[in-house]
């Protein structure tokens, strides 16, 4: 007899107070520094995660469509890399919309699948997991609501079967090249020789295409960026007036990255009550909120070599905008 949805679903959640303490610590540290910064991982509270799903549907945001095209064309080829049933783990799973191509291909090939989505948004995990379980009776899900570091600890003990670890959406671009190599080395340490790592990496291209993708005409990305200040207001008693800030996205061709900033329109002082902090801003002073690094092939090869990984396969979309890379532990 088929097992119910409840029997096929488990949710593991990191301690919320710890997450809030981390947010408060990083906000205070980042707003006391020169230049001011806020870590991009804090974009993805419940509100931010919902806004990001809207970004993925924007005409300017080519990344999601490019990666979906690759997965649609090559998911069966990826599934064929494994001779027996595996566990699929995903970092930053979000709505799992693109991941369905992989889930369906693995179910077709092996008849069943153990899926471990890892995301900071519990509500997003619960909603996406319910939808997946209703659709696929041979799917079992153990969802982990946490930041990546905690999720990786679970990955090491989740299953002894081979794993495909998916890190989609070019999230690796949020890390500088040194940090990206360090994080991939951490993933490599959690992998057995039979495991594989599937990573989306955005490619260098024309400035106009890149800046439009991070500063869309409808202003959705601006709302996503501004939500960081709203989150400080909601959770830490901040007194940010969003009308006094604006969104800015610029591409640095030398560093090969799009930078996102929140720009103070005037001189001002902003109180954050829970931190007992008043933050001074000069006119046009910025808070640097995100980098999104773009790679060429030499940079991808250098990155994987330093991380102790080798490239088994690489696929590009039809326009050559985006790459999906299947890595294996190097000897």
Residues ≥6 apart with Cβ < 8 Å to 96? 90, 103, 117, 128, 129, 132
Integer Cα distance of 92 and 166 in angstroms: 9
pLDDT confidence of residue 254: 96
151 occurs within a structural domain = yes
Each residue's pLDDT tens digit, 260-283: 999 999 999 999 999 999 999 999
Per residue in 91-140, pLDDT (tens digit) is: 999 889 999 999 999 999 999 999 999 998 888 899 999 999 999 999 99
Domain count, the chain: 1
CB 261 within 8 A of CB 288: yes
Residue 49 lies in a domain: no
Which of the residue ranges 42-51, 263-272, 285-294, 318-327 would you say has the lowest mean pLDDT?
A: 42-51
CATH number of 140's domain:
3.40.50.150
Alpha-helical (H) ranges within the chain are 16-32, 46-55, 62-79, 99-110, 122-135, 148-158, 177-189, 207-213, 220-236, 297-306
Residue 103 lies in domain: 6-14+55-206+296-326
In a domain, 331, yes or no: no
State residue 161's pLDDT score.
87
Whether the predicted pLDDT of 215 surpasses 90: yes
Which of the four pLDDT bands, split at 50, 70 and 90, describes residue 248? very high
pLDDT, one tens digit per residue, over 154-163 is: 777 666 789 9
- Beta 257-264 vs 286-293: how paired, if at all? antiparallel
Cα-trace Rg, the chain = 20
On whether residue 62 sits in a domain, the answer given is yes
- 253 domain-assigned: no
Q: Under DSSP, is residue 282 helix (H, G, I), strand (E, B) or coil?
A: coil
31 lies in some domain:
no
DSSP 54-91: HHTT-TT-HHHHHHHHHHHHHHHHHHTT-SS--EEEEE
- Report how far residue 151's alpha carbon sits from residue 11's, in angstroms, rounded to the nearest whole number: 12
Q: Has residue 220 been placed in a domain? A: no
The helix (H) or strand (E) run that includes residue 117 is strand 113-119
β-pair type (196-202, 322-329): antiparallel
Residue 259 domain-assigned? no
């Amino acid at each position: 007899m088929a097992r119910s949805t409840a029997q096929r679903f488990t949710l593991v959640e990191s301690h919320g107070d710890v997450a809030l303490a981390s947010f408060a610590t990083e906000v205070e540290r980042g707003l006391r520094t020169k230049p001011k910064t806020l870590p991009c991982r804090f974009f993805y509270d419940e509100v931010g995660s919902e806004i990001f799903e809207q970004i993925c549907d924007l005409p300017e945001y080519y990344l999601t469509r490019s990666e979906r095209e690759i997965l649609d064309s090559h998911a069966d080829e990826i599934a064929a890399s494994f001779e027996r049933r595996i566990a699929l783990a995903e970092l930053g799973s979000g709505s799992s919309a693109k991941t369905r191509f992989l889930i369906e291909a693995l179910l077709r090939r092996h008849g069943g699948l153990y899926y471990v989505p890892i995301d900071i948004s519990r509500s997003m995990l619960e909603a996406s997991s319910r939808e997946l379980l209703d659709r696929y009776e041979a799917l079992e899900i153990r969802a982990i609501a946490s930041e990546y570091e905690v999720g990786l600890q679970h990955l090491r003990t989740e299953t002894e079967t081979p794993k495909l670890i998916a890190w989609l959406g070019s999230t690796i671009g949020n890390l500088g090249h040194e940090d990206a190599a360090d994080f991939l080395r951490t993933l490599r340490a959690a992998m057995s020789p039979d495991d594989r790592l599937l990573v989306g990496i955005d490619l260098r291209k024309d400035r106009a295409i890149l800046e439009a993708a991070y500063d869309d005409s409808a202003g959705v990305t601006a709302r996503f960026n501004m939500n960081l200040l709203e989150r400080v207001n909601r959770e830490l008693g901040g007194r940010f007036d969003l009308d006094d800030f604006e969104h800015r996205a610029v591409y640095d061709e030398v560093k090969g990255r799009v930078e996102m900033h929140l720009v103070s329109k005037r001189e001002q002082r902003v109180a954050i009550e829970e931190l007992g902090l008043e933050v001074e801003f000069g006119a046009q002073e910025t808070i640097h909120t995100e980098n999104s690094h773009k790679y060429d092939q030499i940079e991808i090869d250098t990155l994987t070599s330093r991380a102790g990984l080798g490239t088994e396969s690489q696929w590009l979309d039809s326009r050559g905008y985006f790459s999906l890379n299947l890595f294996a532990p190097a000897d």
